Amino acid sequence: MSAIEISGLSKSYRIGFWRKRPVVALKPLHLVVEEGEVFGYLGPNGAGKTTTLKLLMGLIFPSGGSARILGMEIDDPRMKAMIGFLPEQPYFYDYLTAPELLEYYAQLSGVPAHERRRRVQTMLERVGLPDVGRLQLRKFSKGMLQRVGIAQAILHDPKVVFLDEPMSGLDPMGRREVRDLMLGLKQEGKTIFFSTHILSDAEALCDRVAVLHKGELRGVGAVADLTAATHARVEVLWHGLEALPAVAALGAECHPTGESVRAVLAEEQVDAVLDALRRHTARLVSVTPVRTTLEDYFVEKLAPTPAEMAR
Amino acid sequence: MSARIAHIAFNTFREAVRDRVLYNLILFALLLVGASLLVGQISIGIERIVIINLGLTAISLFGVAIAIFIGIGLVSKEIEKKTLYTILSRPVRRWEFIVGKFGGLAWTLIVNTLLMAIGFFAALLYSAGGFSGSDLWLLVAIYFIVLQFIVVTALALLFSAFSSPTLSAVFTLALFVIGTFAEDLRAFAAMTQGATRWLATGVAYLVPNFAALNVISSVAHGQSVAGALVFYNTVYSLFYAAAAVSGAVLIFDRRNLK
Amino acid sequence: MPLTSRSRVTATFGLLLATSLLISAFTVHRLDALRAGATLEEVLYIPSAKALKRMSLGYDGLLADLYWTRVVQYFGRKHHAHAMQYKLLKPLLDITTTLDPQLLVAYEFGSIFLAQQPPEGAADPQGAVELVERGIRENPNHWRLYYSLGFIHYVERQDYQAAAEAFERGSRVPGAHPWMKIMAATMAQHGGDIQTARFLWSRIYESTEDNMIKANAVRRLRALQVDEEVPFLEHLVRLFRERTGRQPARWAELVSAGMLRGTPVDPLGHPYRLMPDGRVEVQSPEDLPFIRYGLPPGQKPSTFFPPESK
């Protein structure tokens, strides 16, 4: 059983005064996320990431297709007890204090009465808000609200956690803390599905990613695989200029700096280059694979499809 | 299930209690009750009548104002502010949310009425020096006012489930005014013919029957209230409110949130 | 199709909605029956019509219309139940005309409701006169009000002089109907005459569009016919006795004597009954309200008539 199974889920709206023009927010989506994965849902603004999350949370209803979380239907309360959700730019009841809010959420999530207070306190400490007891939420800063948001998403120990742009609006310190939190959740064996348009975060955290653009899935895969370039390249660093012509003759890009040379060459050529270096008794410093970044992959996937070009 | 509804109701009550609008309205109502004491002293001989008329009318009207002010935001505000996102992603069914909200607001109004009633009886006690037998009927009148609140709340909730706060307020207020003249509307319908008669009668029966819930002027004159009236008014208010809340559930269950 | 939780919710609350609406509608019905007249009773508690006008915040016209609807409803209900008392009529009319002094229909119809004898009305001709006089003060150029006034004085109070004055005042209003003058003159000279009455009721019958008033005028005209024919027939019977020295037993005898052309029938088509003592009676007095002659001895002129009579 997968953690999340999306089968052809789609959503279109009818807008306009007479509600005639359909706007497709999400084209039929097929996606599977396994338990224990950290899954990044990438895409520019307006791609349909939030729409997907709202569909999964049952906040809006699909125009077609279906989805299952932990093997159960979207509207199954048993399933909802096992998931947590942090919306983008969350807004909470601002007349409540943080403990009151979390206690309320704990009640609704079915946390047993005798556990609630302890759980709430633990959560507040975990997200770095140990002393906000009496302060009403309307007085919280954005960063503090985000932490409360994470707290409410995990306080009932869910198996799957959904986060919509969890880093948005945070300063670098805040983002670091959120990242650490997410890694901590991963270590607890939780599945994390989060959407973002910040690729460096995704690259650092995710096992797999999907790229969404204009409501359409453009690519899915493990980060490692995606960043292993189709044209795998290798960087070789050595001392000794004598080998340079031989290496260059093999077709490598060479960049000498004083006595050191840095060359970038195709993976297939590594053995030949190393032979050349040995023949010329150069001193090898390092052999490092050069990876494309996730950004390259992302930009590539966002390029217009032939269909779009033809339009 | 019922635990969740109770929790939602309590949270709704808590929200209302922390809302400043509530206190202003209660204050106004109590001021009016106090003013009735003054007015009563000016018009000799009808002091008690004035206090009861003015006092109960104040409680009734301000309570309706509270019910509308808070009721219209029950659902639409939560959708606007997206506070519902983190609620509905929990094991809370949509209908539990609606029922809980209704319960919370109804409870708020009952507590309100209690407070205002205490102020009212205090004023009455002060002017009359003691309680009399016919004061029992005042309690019945106040009970009817509470039933009225329950109906208004249910209507405000219904409108809040599908329209904006402003429109909800307009609709609810309009229905309150029309409902006050519901009996006359039915009399008018009986005087028409044909298709108009069907339409008018249908509307006249659908409209909330607030006329029957207002016994203020008769209890002011010491009249008693028939037991049958109490029974039927109770049945009516509870079932009418149930209908409105059911409507709200059916609408909200299908609503795509922004 | 599997019973999803959404369809379970829909079914449950849909059922609850339908049932609740039905129960509510039924309860409203019971409440209306319980409270019949209760809203109107509150009229007694309103301190004064003027206070109500002030409280209406300028919407007095609308409120007047509302109260007029209540007057009609109240009167209709009481009338249908053949009530003998209409105690709320005066306060309701008072409020209606204070709220909107130009609501002519309230004076015209309201005065009729007030003036007539029970169960047709509240038997308060004096109150009716006061109401119309007030209407005239507020609307001096509406001749129909003087007509209503004259009508009340004539029919309900038999005060022919006052009636004549009312018709006279009305005849001077520009645009008044020409026969106002005729009525004034006739009333003064021949107030008690049957011809006058016949003239009045015929005018009413022709000029009104209201079915209830038309029917009433017909009844009045029939009664006038009876009140003319019965004394005349009794006079013929006396003549016969003088000539022949005995009481006639049947109308045929008078026909043979050349005094009648055929059996006399009343306005409903039933033959008059010739009594042994020489009196003439109508066959069914219950069907002929307002008649003063042709009644069995001891029976007073009636205004009561069975529900479905025409």
Predicted pLDDT at B42: 66
Instruction: Establish if A50 touches chain B: CB-CB under 8 angstroms.
Output: no
Q: Nearest Cβ partner of B205 from C13, C17, C28?
A: C28
Q: Nearest Cβ partner of A87 from B11, B15, B82?
A: B82
How far is residue B17's CA from residue B60's CA, in Å, rounded to a whole number?
19
Neighbours of B100 (CB within 10 A): 22
Closest by Cα among C291, C304, C299 to C229: C291
Q: Mean pLDDT of all residues in chain B?
A: 88
Predicted pLDDT at C193: 78
Residue A188 per-residue DSSP state: T
Burial (CB < 10 A; 0-12, 13-18, 19+), residue B252, is: buried
Q: Mean pLDDT of all residues in chain A?
A: 87
- Out of C34-38, C170-174, C216-220, pick the least confident: C34-38
Degrees to nearest 5, angle at CA B252 with B250 and B258: 155
Per DSSP bridges, beta strands A233-239 and A260-266 are antiparallel
Strands, E assignment, chain C: 273-274, 280-281
Instruction: Establish if C105 touches chain B: CB-CB under 8 angstroms.
Output: no
Instruction: Give the amino acid at C46.
Output: I
Question: Which chain B residues have a beta carbon less than 8 Å from that of C80?
Answer: none
Radius of gyration of chain C (CA): 27
Instruction: Give the amino acid at C53.
Output: K
pLDDT band at B49; cut points 50, 70, 90: confident
Q: Pick the residue from chain B with its C-alpha nearest to A57.
A: B89
Instruction: Flag if B92 and A90 touch (Cβ within 8 Å).
Output: no
How far is residue A71's CA from residue A78's CA, in Å, rounded to a whole number?
11
Q: At what angle do helices B135-160 and B94-128 cross, to 10 degrees?
A: 150
3-state secondary structure of A75: coil
Residue C303: pLDDT above 70?
no
Distance from CA of C206 to the nearest CA of B (A): 25
Residues of B with CB under 8 A from a CB of A: 3-4, 7-8, 11, 14-15, 18-19, 81-93, 254, 256-257
Distance from CA of B171 to the nearest CA of A (A): 23
Predicted pLDDT at A310: 64
Closest by Cα among A140, A128, A46, A146 to A90: A146
Instruction: Flag if B90 and A105 touch (Cβ within 8 Å).
Output: yes
Burial (CB < 10 A; 0-12, 13-18, 19+), residue A24, is: middle
Q: Pick the residue from chain A with its C-alpha nearest to B12.
A: A93
Question: Which chain A residues have a beta carbon less than 8 Å from that of B85?
Answer: 57, 59, 85, 87, 90
Residue B129: pLDDT above 60?
yes
The tokens describing C249, both together, are 């037993």
Read off the pLDDT of each residue in C216-226 and give the average, rounded to a whole number. 87
Instruction: Flag if C39 and B239 touch (Cβ within 8 Å).
Output: no
* Secondary structure percentages of chain B, helix, strand, coil, to 5: 80, 0, 20
Q: Nearest Cβ partner of B212 from C6, C35, C66?
A: C35
Q: Pick the residue from chain C with its C-alpha nearest to B96.
A: C9
Instruction: Flag if B253 and C35 touch (Cβ within 8 Å).
Output: no
Q: Which residue has the higher pLDDT, A297 or B85?
A: B85
**Using one digit for the tens of pLDDT, what is the confidence trace for C71-83?**
888 887 777 777 7
Residue B134: pLDDT above 50?
yes
pLDDT band at C309; cut points 50, 70, 90: very low
Read off the pLDDT of each residue in B38-64 and give the average, rounded to a whole number. 80
Read off the pLDDT of each residue in B138-150 and give the average, rounded to a whole number. 95
Q: Pick the residue from chain B with its C-alpha nearest to C70.
A: B184
Chains in contact with B, where contact means 3 or more Cβ–Cβ distances below 8 Å, are: A, C
Instruction: Flag if B86 and A95 touch (Cβ within 8 Å).
Output: no
Predicted pLDDT at B72: 84
Residues of C with CB under 8 A from a CB of A: 4-6
Q: Which residue has the higher pLDDT, B258 or B200?
A: B200
Q: Nearest Cβ partner of A80 from B7, B19, B89?
A: B89
Instruction: Flag if B11 and A104 touch (Cβ within 8 Å).
Output: yes
Residue A269 per-residue DSSP state: G
Distance from CA of C73 to the nearest CA of B (A): 7
Count of B-C CB contacts under 8 Å: 92
Q: Which residue has the tokens 């000029």?
A: C207
Q: Nearest Cβ partner of C20 from B188, B209, B242?
A: B242
**Using one digit for the tens of pLDDT, what is the confidence trace for A34-59?**
999 999 999 888 888 999 999 999 99
Q: Nearest Cβ partner of C9 from B191, B209, B253?
A: B253
Instruction: Flag if C70 and B187 touch (Cβ within 8 Å).
Output: yes
Question: Which chain B residues have a beta carbon less than 8 Å from that of C10?
Answer: 250, 253
Predicted pLDDT at B241: 97
Cα A180 off chain centre by: 14
Closest by Cα among A109, A100, A97 to A154: A109
The listed range with the strongest mean pLDDT (A203-217, B29-43, B236-250) is: B236-250
pLDDT band at C307; cut points 50, 70, 90: very low
Count of A-C CB contacts under 8 Å: 5
Burial (CB < 10 A; 0-12, 13-18, 19+), residue B55, is: buried
Provide the Cα torsion B4, B8, B9, B14; round to 10°.
140
**Using one digit for the tens of pLDDT, what is the confidence trace for C7-53?**
889 999 999 999 999 999 999 999 988 887 676 777 777 767 887 88
The tokens describing B97, both together, are 């949310």
3-state secondary structure of A119: helix
Q: Pick the residue from chain A with its C-alpha nearest to C6.
A: A75
Residues 6+ apart with CB under 8 A from A247: A236, A254, A261, A263, A265, A273, A276, A277
Question: Which chain A residues have a beta carbon less than 8 Å from that of C5?
Answer: 75-76
Radius of gyration of chain A (CA): 25
Instruction: Flag if A93 and B11 touch (Cβ within 8 Å).
Output: yes
Q: Nearest Cβ partner of B246 from C13, C32, C38?
A: C13
Instruction: Flag if B86 and A152 touch (Cβ within 8 Å).
Output: yes
Distance from CA of B19 to the nearest CA of C (A): 31
pLDDT band at C1; cut points 50, 70, 90: very low
Q: Nearest Cβ partner of A61 from B15, B84, B256?
A: B256
Predicted pLDDT at A229: 58
Residues 6+ apart with CB under 8 A from B227: none
Instruction: Establish if A306 touches chain B: CB-CB under 8 angstroms.
Output: no
Instruction: Flag if C31 and B184 touch (Cβ within 8 Å).
Output: no
Residue A9, beta-bridge partner list: A29
Distance from CA of C18 to the nearest CA of A (A): 26
Residue A283, beta-bridge partner list: A239
Distance from CA of B112 to the nearest CA of C (A): 26
The model scores a pTM over 0.90: no
Chains in contact with A, where contact means 3 or more Cβ–Cβ distances below 8 Å, are: B, C
Instruction: Flag if B86 and A87 touch (Cβ within 8 Å).
Output: yes
Predicted pLDDT at A311: 56
Per DSSP bridges, beta strands C280-281 and C273-274 are antiparallel
Instruction: Flag if B85 and A87 touch (Cβ within 8 Å).
Output: yes
Q: Which residue has the higher pLDDT, C69 or C272?
A: C272
Radius of gyration of chain B (CA): 20
Read off the pLDDT of each residue in C231-252 and give the average, rounded to a whole number. 89
Q: Taking a C-beta distance cutoff of 8 angstroms, is the pair B229, C34 a contact?
A: yes
Residue B207: pLDDT above 90?
yes
Chains in contact with C, where contact means 3 or more Cβ–Cβ distances below 8 Å, are: A, B
Interfacial C residues in 68-97 facing B (CB < 8 Å): 69-70, 72-73
Q: Mean pLDDT of all residues in chain C?
A: 83
The tokens describing C136, both together, are 């005239």
Distance from CA of B125 to the nearest CA of C (A): 23
Mutate to test the interface with A, among B10, B17, B89, B254 (most CBs of A within 10 A): B89
Write down the ipTM of this complex: 0.87
Question: Which chain B residues have a beta carbon less than 8 Å from that of C72?
Answer: 191
Question: Which chain C residues have a beta carbon less than 8 Å from that of B95?
Answer: 9, 13
Question: Please, which contacts does A288-292 make with residues 24 or more away whose CB atoms are closer than 8 Å?
Answer: A288/A234, A288/A235, A288/A237, A289/A232, A289/A233, A289/A234, A289/A235, A290/A229, A290/A233, A290/A234, A290/A235, A290/A264, A291/A227, A291/A228, A291/A229, A292/A227, A292/A228, A292/A229
Residue A142: pLDDT above 90?
no
- What percent of chain A stands above pLDDT 70? 95
Residue C206: pLDDT above 60?
yes
Closest by Cα among A215, A216, A250 to A236: A250
Q: Which residue has the higher pLDDT, C152 or A304?
A: C152
How far is residue A270's CA from residue A273's CA, in Å, rounded to a whole number?
5
Q: At what angle do helices B135-160 and B73-80 cross, to 10 degrees?
A: 30
Q: Which residue has the higher pLDDT, A70 or A134?
A: A70
